[in-house]
Amino acid sequence: MGIKILGPRVLIKPVKREEKTKGGIYLPETANENRKEGIVVEVGYYDDKEHEGKEFPVKKGDHVIYGGYSDKEIEIDGEKHVIVDVKDVLAIIE
Each domain of the chain, given as residue ranges in start order, spans 9-93
CATH of domain 9-93: 2.30.33.40
Contact in structure between 38 and 58 (CB atoms under 8 Å): no
CA gyration radius, the chain: 15
The residues pairing with 85 across neighbouring beta strands, listed in sequence order, are 9
* pLDDT tens string 6-25: 989 999 999 876 666 677 77
pLDDT in tens, 30-53: 655 567 899 999 999 888 888 777
Torsion angles phi and psi, residue 83, rounded to 5: -110, 125
79-85/9-14 β-pairing: antiparallel
- pLDDT over threshold 70, residue 27: no
